[in-house]
């Protein structure tokens, strides 16, 4: 059964993938979802990503690790600071 189309006036469901309320939080959530996808992807998908990155001048031995690390770091840096003391 097809899911009904989302109406902008509706509140997103509690289990919505993105729960952010501003662009910075949304970017962090999207980066985190992308990182989760690629770290759990099949070997064939990871090889496709590695090939894609090396075709854009990334070193074959480090392309995938660099990409995933950069995604994770960028997601972390995109999150708003917390008010908790260190």
66: number of Cβ within 10 Å: 13
Predicted confidence (pLDDT) per residue in 3-57, tens digit: 666 565 666 666 666 666 677 777 778 888 888 888 899 999 989 988 998 999 9
Please, is 34 exposed, middle or buried when counting C-beta atoms within 10 Å of its C-beta (0-12, 13-18, 19+)?
middle
pTM (2 d.p.): 0.56
52/50 Cα distance (integer angstroms): 5
Scan for tokens 């501003």, then name that residue: 22
pLDDT category at 1 given cuts 50, 70, 90 is: low
Predicted confidence (pLDDT) per residue in 73-84, tens digit: 887 787 766 665
- Give CA separation, 83 vs 38, 76, 86, in Å: 31, 15, 9
């Amino acid at each position: 059964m097809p899911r009904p189309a989302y109406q902008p006036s509706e509140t997103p469901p509690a289990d919505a993938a993105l729960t952010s309320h501003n662009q910075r939080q949304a970017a962090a959530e999207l980066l985190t979802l992308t990182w989760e996808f690629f770290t759990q992807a099949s070997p064939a998908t990871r090889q496709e990503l590695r090939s894609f990155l090396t075709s854009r001048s990334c070193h074959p031995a480090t392309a995938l690790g660099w990409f995933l690390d950069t995604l994770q770091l960028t997601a972390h840096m995109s999150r708003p600071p917390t008010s908790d003391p260190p």
